[in-house]
Structure 1
Protein backbone atom coordinates (compact mmCIF):
# COMPACT_ATOMS: atom_id res chain seq x y z
CA UNK A 1 0.00 0.00 0.00
CA UNK A 2 1.31 3.46 -0.89
CA UNK A 3 1.29 6.40 1.50
CA UNK A 4 -1.35 8.34 -0.41
CA UNK A 5 -3.91 5.52 -0.64
CA UNK A 6 -6.24 7.20 1.82
CA UNK A 7 -6.20 10.46 -0.16
CA UNK A 8 -6.16 9.01 -3.65
CA UNK A 9 -9.50 10.57 -4.63
CA UNK A 10 -8.51 13.99 -3.28
CA UNK A 11 -5.25 13.83 -5.19
CA UNK A 12 -7.02 12.83 -8.39
CA UNK A 13 -9.38 15.81 -8.03
CA UNK A 14 -6.47 18.20 -7.46
CA UNK A 15 -4.61 16.86 -10.49
CA UNK A 16 -7.71 17.18 -12.70
CA UNK A 17 -7.97 20.80 -11.54
CA UNK A 18 -4.33 21.41 -12.53
CA UNK A 19 -4.99 19.68 -15.85
CA UNK A 20 -7.89 22.07 -16.42
CA UNK A 21 -5.65 25.03 -15.62
CA UNK A 22 -3.09 23.86 -18.18
CA UNK A 23 -5.82 23.37 -20.80
CA UNK A 24 -6.97 26.91 -20.00
CA UNK A 25 -3.43 28.12 -20.66
CA UNK A 26 -3.47 26.42 -24.05
CA UNK A 27 -6.74 28.17 -24.90
CA UNK A 28 -5.34 31.51 -23.76
CA UNK A 29 -2.38 31.13 -26.12
CA UNK A 30 -4.62 29.99 -28.98
CA UNK A 31 -6.87 33.01 -28.34
CA UNK A 32 -3.92 35.44 -28.27
CA UNK A 33 -4.55 36.58 -24.70
CA UNK A 34 -2.33 39.18 -23.06
CA UNK A 35 1.08 37.84 -21.95
CA UNK A 36 0.77 38.98 -18.35
CA UNK A 37 -2.63 37.29 -18.00
CA UNK A 38 -1.12 34.04 -19.25
CA UNK A 39 1.83 34.38 -16.89
CA UNK A 40 -0.56 34.95 -13.99
CA UNK A 41 -2.32 31.69 -14.83
CA UNK A 42 1.02 29.88 -15.19
CA UNK A 43 1.86 31.02 -11.68
CA UNK A 44 -1.48 29.70 -10.39
CA UNK A 45 -0.98 26.30 -12.08
CA UNK A 46 2.59 26.07 -10.81
CA UNK A 47 1.45 26.87 -7.28
CA UNK A 48 -1.30 24.24 -7.46
CA UNK A 49 1.14 21.59 -8.68
CA UNK A 50 3.69 22.52 -6.00
CA UNK A 51 0.96 22.27 -3.34
CA UNK A 52 0.05 18.80 -4.62
CA UNK A 53 3.71 17.75 -4.53
CA UNK A 54 4.13 18.94 -0.94
CA UNK A 55 1.00 17.09 0.14
CA UNK A 56 2.22 13.89 -1.52
CA UNK A 57 5.66 14.32 0.04
CA UNK A 58 4.11 14.76 3.49
CA UNK A 59 2.18 11.53 3.07
CA UNK A 60 5.29 9.74 1.82
CA UNK A 61 7.23 10.85 4.89
CA UNK A 62 4.41 9.95 7.28
CA UNK A 63 3.83 6.52 5.80
CA UNK A 64 6.60 5.09 3.63
CA UNK A 65 9.61 6.69 5.31
CA UNK A 66 8.25 6.33 8.85
CA UNK A 67 7.45 2.65 8.27
CA UNK A 68 10.89 1.96 6.82
CA UNK A 69 12.68 3.72 9.67
CA UNK A 70 10.77 1.66 12.21
CA UNK A 71 12.03 -1.49 10.49
CA UNK A 72 15.54 -0.06 10.20
CA UNK A 73 18.29 -1.45 8.04
CA UNK A 74 19.23 -0.60 4.46
CA UNK A 75 15.62 -0.01 3.36
CA UNK A 76 15.34 2.83 5.87
CA UNK A 77 18.50 4.42 4.48
CA UNK A 78 17.14 4.15 0.94
CA UNK A 79 13.78 5.70 1.87
CA UNK A 80 15.41 8.61 3.71
CA UNK A 81 17.78 9.22 0.77
CA UNK A 82 14.85 9.12 -1.70
CA UNK A 83 12.90 11.61 0.39
CA UNK A 84 15.92 13.91 0.71
CA UNK A 85 16.47 13.78 -3.06
CA UNK A 86 12.79 14.53 -3.70
CA UNK A 87 12.91 17.50 -1.32
CA UNK A 88 16.03 18.80 -3.06
CA UNK A 89 14.31 18.57 -6.46
CA UNK A 90 11.28 20.44 -5.13
CA UNK A 91 13.44 23.17 -3.64
CA UNK A 92 15.34 23.62 -6.91
CA UNK A 93 12.19 23.81 -9.02
Structure 2
Protein backbone atom coordinates (compact mmCIF):
# COMPACT_ATOMS: atom_id res chain seq x y z
CA UNK A 1 0.00 0.00 0.00
CA UNK A 2 2.88 2.37 0.72
CA UNK A 3 4.23 1.90 -2.80
CA UNK A 4 0.82 2.74 -4.21
CA UNK A 5 0.65 5.87 -2.04
CA UNK A 6 4.10 6.96 -3.24
CA UNK A 7 2.93 6.51 -6.82
CA UNK A 8 -0.13 8.65 -6.07
CA UNK A 9 2.10 11.32 -4.52
CA UNK A 10 4.13 11.33 -7.73
CA UNK A 11 0.98 11.68 -9.79
CA UNK A 12 -0.12 14.66 -7.68
CA UNK A 13 3.27 16.34 -8.14
CA UNK A 14 2.94 15.65 -11.86
CA UNK A 15 -0.44 17.36 -11.93
CA UNK A 16 1.04 20.39 -10.17
CA UNK A 17 3.77 20.56 -12.83
CA UNK A 18 1.16 20.23 -15.57
CA UNK A 19 -0.76 23.17 -14.11
CA UNK A 20 2.43 25.26 -13.81
CA UNK A 21 3.32 24.43 -17.42
CA UNK A 22 -0.18 25.38 -18.59
CA UNK A 23 -0.86 21.93 -20.06
CA UNK A 24 -4.17 21.42 -21.86
CA UNK A 25 -6.94 21.28 -19.23
CA UNK A 26 -8.47 18.06 -20.52
CA UNK A 27 -5.14 16.27 -20.05
CA UNK A 28 -4.95 17.51 -16.46
CA UNK A 29 -8.51 16.37 -15.78
CA UNK A 30 -7.64 12.89 -17.02
CA UNK A 31 -4.72 12.80 -14.59
CA UNK A 32 -7.05 13.80 -11.76
CA UNK A 33 -9.38 10.95 -12.67
CA UNK A 34 -6.43 8.56 -12.63
CA UNK A 35 -5.43 9.74 -9.15
CA UNK A 36 -9.00 9.43 -7.87
CA UNK A 37 -9.17 5.88 -9.19
CA UNK A 38 -5.87 4.99 -7.53
CA UNK A 39 -7.04 6.46 -4.22
CA UNK A 40 -10.27 4.46 -4.45
CA UNK A 41 -8.22 1.31 -4.91
CA UNK A 42 -6.10 2.05 -1.84
CA UNK A 43 -9.21 2.83 0.20
CA UNK A 44 -10.82 -0.47 -0.75
CA UNK A 45 -7.66 -2.39 0.08
CA UNK A 46 -7.34 -0.66 3.44
CA UNK A 47 -11.01 -1.19 4.27
CA UNK A 48 -10.71 -4.90 3.51
CA UNK A 49 -7.59 -5.21 5.67
CA UNK A 50 -9.29 -3.27 8.47
CA UNK A 51 -12.33 -5.55 8.45
CA UNK A 52 -10.27 -8.75 8.30
CA UNK A 53 -7.95 -7.72 11.12
CA UNK A 54 -8.95 -4.84 13.38
CA UNK A 55 -12.72 -5.30 13.22
CA UNK A 56 -12.59 -9.08 13.66
CA UNK A 57 -10.20 -8.72 16.60
CA UNK A 58 -12.39 -6.15 18.33
CA UNK A 59 -15.52 -8.25 17.85
CA UNK A 60 -13.73 -11.28 19.27
CA UNK A 61 -12.82 -9.14 22.28
CA UNK A 62 -16.48 -8.20 22.76
CA UNK A 63 -16.03 -4.63 21.54
CA UNK A 64 -19.15 -4.57 19.40
CA UNK A 65 -19.22 -0.78 19.03
CA UNK A 66 -16.69 -1.33 16.23
CA UNK A 67 -19.60 -2.39 14.01
CA UNK A 68 -21.26 1.03 14.37
CA UNK A 69 -17.90 2.69 13.72
CA UNK A 70 -17.39 0.58 10.60
CA UNK A 71 -20.88 1.35 9.30
CA UNK A 72 -20.28 5.08 9.79
CA UNK A 73 -17.03 4.81 7.85
CA UNK A 74 -18.67 2.87 5.02
CA UNK A 75 -21.51 5.42 4.79
CA UNK A 76 -18.95 8.25 4.52
CA UNK A 77 -16.95 6.36 1.89
CA UNK A 78 -19.99 5.73 -0.28
CA UNK A 79 -21.30 9.30 -0.39
Per the normalisation by structure 1, the TM-score is 0.80
Deviations 1:44-87 (A, max 9, x none): 00110111011001000000111111222xx222x112211111
- Whole-angstrom CA distance in 2 between matches of 1:82 and 1:15: 25
Aligned partner of 1:40 in structure 2 is 30
**In the TM superposition, what is the alpha-carbon distance from 1:90 to its structure 2 partner?**
1.2
The answer to whether 1:54 aligns with 2:41 is no
1:19 Cα deviation (Å)? 0.2
Q: Are residues 1:15 and 2:2 paired? A: no
Q: Which runs of 4+ in 1 moved over 3 A?
A: none
TM-score by length of 2: 0.93
| Superposition RMSD in Å | 0.9
Which residue in the other structure is 1:3 paired with? none
Runs of at least 5 residues in structure 1 that lack an aligned partner in the other structure = 1-10
1:13-40 deviation per Cα after TM superposition (whole angstroms, max 9, x unaligned): 1110000000010001001011111010
Q: Number of aligned residue pairs: give it.
A: 79
